[in-house]
């Protein structure tokens, strides 16, 4: 479509389109405006000039977030190069949480190289979180089987300092221009502490187990991660009950040296989608990587 003007037929350019839609739906001033780095000039500069001229209010936008590009094997993703992939297509090949983790692991201003290697790296790192979260959900039940005198009831000074540091480092990173990379590094510090002590659940206090799980899921939710752990479905809850029941039977079989039955139960749990890891006094399960 086009319209007559004093200079002939014409139509509004895309700079005007964006100002018009923004003002219509968001008002003459907005808090955050995003876009690719290639839009800084001339598009966003034009938006600012014409929107502020129209409204006579400054600033048009309080915070501009200009993201880096997604590259495919070190080349800019574009239809013209034939290396274009949609989110829908990517989700048929990779789990959604792996893709999300890959994308948030790089600062939004930096380019990200989308390759099989990078996806696999993100998946391996995410597995470390899954191991911690899976084990934390089981530790309370395991510790209840220990002698009461062996159980730590309150946070140790080391645990207090670690939990405080993790949350503080995470918040500081996010407040520093959404530095998600360093925010994730803060969470990984907690994960390493948990995973390095997994063979001895009694090295953790009962309170720490709950607080560590809460820290990982609450802070992870900020990034859209670990939601299946924080908000488990009814199906997931039932699966957990089933596995715990099978593990109790298996522990009895192991104590009676009925290793054939123990192996059968382990194989059954694997079919459900979880690996079983045996320790001297107990067993833990973790999800099988998809």
Ordered per-residue pLDDT tens for the chain, 290 residues: 788 989 999 888 899 999 999 999 999 999 999 999 999 999 999 999 999 999 999 999 999 999 998 899 888 888 788 888 889 999 999 999 999 999 999 999 999 999 999 999 999 999 999 999 999 999 887 877 765 666 788 999 999 999 999 999 999 999 999 999 999 999 999 999 999 988 888 889 989 999 999 999 999 999 999 999 999 999 999 999 999 999 999 999 999 999 999 999 999 999 999 999 998 878 899 988 76
Task: Indicate the pTM of the whole model.
Answer: 0.85
d(CA 83, CA 164): 44
Q: What is the dihedral of CA 167, 94, 272, 217, to 10 degrees?
A: 10
Query: 212-239 burial by CB neighbour count: b if 16+ within 10 A, else e?
Result: bbebbbebbeebebbeebeeeeeeeeee
For residues 279 and 199, the answer to whether their CB atoms sit within 8 Å is yes
Question: What CATH class does 3-113 carry?
Answer: alpha beta
d(CA 161, CA 193): 12
Nearest to 99 by CA among 87, 113, 85: 87
Phi, psi of 92 (to 5 degrees): -75, -15
Q: List the chain domain ranges.
A: 3-113, 232-290
Place of tokens 């739906």: 25
């Amino acid at each position: 479509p086009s319209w007559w003007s004093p200079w002939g037929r014409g139509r509004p350019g895309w700079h005007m389109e964006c100002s018009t839609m923004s003002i219509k739906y968001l008002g003459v001033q907005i808090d955050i405006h995003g876009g690719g780095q290639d839009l800084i000039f001339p598009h966003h500069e034009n938006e600012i000039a014409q929107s502020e001229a129209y409204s006579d209010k400054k600033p048009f936008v309080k915070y501009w977030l200009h993201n880096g590009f997604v590259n495919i094997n070190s080349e800019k993703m574009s239809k013209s190069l034939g290396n274009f992939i949609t989110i829908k297509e990517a989700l048929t090949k990779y789990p959604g949480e792996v893709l999300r983790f890959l994308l948030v692991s790089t600062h939004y201003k930096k380019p990200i190289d989308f390759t099989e290697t990078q996806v696999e790296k993100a998946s391996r790192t995410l597995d470390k979180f899954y191991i911690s979260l899976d084990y934390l959900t089981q530790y309370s039940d395991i510790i209840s089987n220990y002698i009461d005198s062996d159980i730590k009831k309150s946070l140790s000074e080391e645990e207090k300092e670690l939990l405080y540091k993790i949350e503080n480092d995470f918040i500081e990173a996010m407040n520093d221009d959404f530095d998600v990379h360093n925010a994730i590094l803060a969470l990984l510090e907690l994960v390493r502490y948990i995973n390095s002590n997994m063979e001895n659940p009694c090295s953790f206090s009962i309170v720490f187990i709950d607080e560590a799980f809460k820290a990982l899921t609450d802070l992870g939710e900020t990034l859209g991660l670990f939601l299946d752990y924080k908000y488990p479905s009814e199906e997931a809850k039932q699966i957990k009950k089933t596995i715990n029941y099978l593990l109790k039977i298996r522990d009895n079989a192991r104590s009676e040296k009925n290793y054939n039955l123990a192996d059968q139960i382990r194989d059954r749990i694997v079919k459900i989608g979880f690996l079983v890891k045996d320790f001297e006094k107990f067993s833990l399960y973790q999800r099988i990587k998809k």
